[in-house]
Amino acid sequence: MRKKFNHFTVLLAALIVIFSSPIFAAGESDFPPSYYDIVAMFLIAIIIIGFTAIVYYEGRKGVAEEEEVLVKQPSAFAKFRRAITKTTPVETEHELLLNHDYDGIKELDSQIPPWFLWLFYITIFFSIVYMLDYHVFNSSPLQDEEYQLQVKQAEVERAALMNSGAFLNEESVTLLTDAAAIDAGKQIFATNCVACHTADGGGLVGPNLTDDYWIHGGGIKNIFKTIKYGVVAKGMISWQSQLNPKQMQDVSSYIISLHGTTPANPKAPEGTIWKESDSTAVASN
Ligand code: HEC
């Protein structure tokens, strides 16, 4: 009966350990589990299954008799099992019987099995290594530090994405006024747009980009939108496949910087007057 209970507890412990680790590790970043998590889970499972097998084997009928036979020439496994469990044979158990009896329940003064002691020593060793690593030499980051590192890493990635303009669209785009952006925009305009809009933005095939009149709405958001999607039916192509969002922002900002300049041959105004106070609204084409 006592042995049966042992099997049950060991099995239960095994199940709890095996199934609890994924529950505790349920953070998003922990999925899929790391290589080390998997190795650790397997090791734990192997240890538990191994000891369950040993305990079960111990409890089997006939093991004691088998052992008698084996005493003369014990197998390597039997030696190993004896060494790690140090169990007392049933026949000599009475020598260990403690001197009390509670309602028929007796107690043996058995030795602590060496495997259990070793497990205990290993945890002590582990705790020392852990403490030195995390708290003395500070060679591994603590939870808080680890979080800060992750935040920093995310910021770097975010900055890289921002630079490529991944978050820029006609709703979020803002007017840039720094010389670098205007210069970049001027370059893009010179390479792609002058054929139809002329170098000074006065207009040729396309309309004058320097006056107050806009066919598709002025302001950074509308201009960005016209460049991004184009007005294909009227001969203005969509540029989103050739320019990234940051480049479209640069060239839009450059076009706005041309406002009020006097082109050599300005085309007559087309569209309607655009007031900058409307610039938060995206005009519907
Ligand atoms: C093949 C000729 C052509 C090229 C190249 C071209 N455009 Fe256009 N663009 C047009 C035409 C035509 C229109 C007028 C569309 C309409 O009437 O609706 C226009 C309109 C625009 C408008 C809207 C003007 C308004 O009044 O609303 C903007 C902004 C613009 N172009 C920017 C650019 C930029 C920036 C480039 C280069 C990246 C470019 N265009 C290249 C022909 C061109």
What is the tens place of the pLDDT at every residue in 34-78? 788 889 999 999 999 988 888 777 666 666 566 655 566 778 888
Q: What domains sit in the chain, N to C, each tagged with a CATH number?
A: 2-98+109-136 (no CATH), 179-278 (1.10.760.10)
Cβ neighbourhood burial of 193 (10 Å; 0-12, 13-18, 19+): buried
In whole angstroms, how far apart are CA 47 and each of 13, 25, 97, 124, 251? 12, 21, 30, 18, 65
* Residue 285 CA, ligand 1 centroid: distance in Å: 14
Beta bridge partners, 57, equal none
Give the chain's end-to-end CA distance (angstroms, integer). Answer: 84
Per-residue confidence band for 280, with pLDDT thresholds at 50, 70 and 90: low
Q: Cβ neighbours of residue 84 under 8 Å, at least 6 residues apart?
A: 54, 113, 114, 115, 118
| Reported confidence tier of residue 23, pLDDT bands at 50, 70, 90 | very low
Weakest-pLDDT range from 58-72, 128-142, 239-253: 58-72
Q: Which of 17-31, 130-144, 264-278 has the highest mean pLDDT?
A: 130-144
Closest residue by Cα to atom 14, ligand 1, is 206
**Tokens describing residue 87:** 């169990």
Question: What atom in ligand 1 is closest to the CA of residue 243?
Answer: 38
Q: Looking at residue 69, what is its pLDDT?
A: 59
Q: Which residues line ligand 1 (CB under 6 A)?
A: 189, 192-193, 195-197, 205-207, 214-216, 223, 226-227, 231, 234-236, 239, 251, 255, 271
Average pLDDT over residues 187-191: 96
Per-residue pLDDT, 111 = 85
> How far is the centre of ligand 1, averaged over its atoms, from the C-alpha of 277 (Å)?
23
Give the tens place of pLDDT for each residue, 112-131.
Answer: 889 999 999 999 999 999 99
Q: How far is the CA of 185 from the centre of ligand 1 (A)?
A: 15
* Parallel/antiparallel/unpaired status of strands 213-214 and 97-102: unpaired
